[in-house]
Amino acid sequence: MSDFQPYEIIEGDYDKGMVLIADHAMNLLPAHYGNLGLPQAAFQRHIAFDIGIEGLTRQLAARLGVPAVMGRFSRLLIDPNRGEDDPTLIMKISDGAIIPGNHPMTQDEWDLRLNTYHRPYHNAVASVLGKVASQAGKAPLVLSLHSYTPFWKDVARPWHAAVLWDTDHRAVLPLLEHLRAGGDILVGDNEPYDGALKGDTMYHHCMRHGIAHALLEVRQDLIGDEAGITAWSQRLAPIFAAMNDDPTLHEYQQFASRAGPY
């Protein structure tokens, strides 16, 4: 078995009380999986990772001086933003691409991917959140970063960014307000996706524990190069910093989830 590291922790000032999370930051695979039977070009598509998010997370962590946790393995191997009992945890087909290395699959291989990649990633997230809570003396503010395609099938997605959430709106409402304040971008509220997904990263680490959080999606064509990444990190850093200064976002408070069973 390889010594592949399933996550990367960007160190920062744990006393600040903020954590950035990027589940789908990278498109890497351990060498013994090859390309899962796919052409190499598939790993430059959104099916493999969230385009632009690694660079955006690195820039934001540096600007804000806060820790971040990034997934290193491609979601084609196993999706870190899914619960362990989610049927889409390991995809057989993704946006029309059949993934030969994922079907058929033995229970031993399923368990191996859980134990070697998925669970260590989530253990790292839990560890960083716990360290921030301990050193800051308050609940961490958690901001999760993702990206989405500008089109789905032939339908354009007009939103420049979107905020996804379940029922805990504490961080969501100020984030939406800040993003919309300039009037220069269209921001989706639970569009193009709904943020209520039982077992996903925000549910597992935040909803269940009463930690304020928000999931921000940025359209991939806007962060597809360094210029776009820099522009969005400059836009987002002061917003995140202002949110982090709000003491109400550092309280533990339980909310009932809308996410039902799978």
pLDDT digits (tens, 9 = 90+) for 8-28: 999 999 999 999 999 999 999
**pLDDT at residue 180 greater than cutoff 70:** yes
Query: Within the chain, what is the greatest distance between any pair of CA atoms?
Result: 52
**pLDDT at residue 239 greater than cutoff 90:** yes
Higher pLDDT, 149 or 97: 149
pLDDT in tens, 241-253: 999 999 999 999 9
Q: Which domains does the chain have, with CATH numbers?
A: 7-250 (3.40.630.40)
Distance in angstroms (rounded) separating the CA atoms of residues 212 and 172: 9
Distance in angstroms (rounded) separating the CA atoms of residues 175 and 95: 30
Are residues 23 and 89 in contact, defined by beta-carbon separation less than 8 angstroms? no
pLDDT score, position 79:
98
**pLDDT at residue 1 greater than cutoff 90:** no
3-class DSSP state of 12: coil
Are residues 19 and 141 in contact, defined by beta-carbon separation less than 8 angstroms? yes
Distance in angstroms (rounded) separating the CA atoms of residues 164 and 118: 22
pLDDT in tens, 25-39: 999 999 999 999 999
pLDDT in tens, 66-123: 999 999 999 999 999 999 999 999 999 998 889 999 999 999 999 999 999 999 999 9
Residue 111 class from Cβ within 10 Å (0-12 exposed, 13-18 middle, 19+ buried)? exposed
Residue with tokens 């969230």: 50
The set of long-range contacts for 115-121, using a CB threshold of 8 Å and a minimum separation of 24, is 116/1, 116/6, 117/4, 117/6, 117/73, 117/77, 117/78, 117/80, 118/6, 118/78, 118/80, 118/84, 118/89, 120/6, 120/7, 121/6, 121/7, 121/23, 121/69, 121/71, 121/73, 121/80
Please list, residue by residue across 127-136, b when 16 or more beta carbons sit within 10 angstroms of its beta carbon and e when fewer do. ebbeebbeeb
**pLDDT at residue 261 greater than cutoff 80:** no
Alpha-carbon distance values, 131 to 18, 97, 136, 140 (Å): 11, 40, 8, 9
pLDDT in tens, 182-223: 999 999 999 999 999 999 999 999 999 999 999 999 999 999
Instruction: For residue 13, count other CB atoms closer than 10 A to its CB.
Output: 14
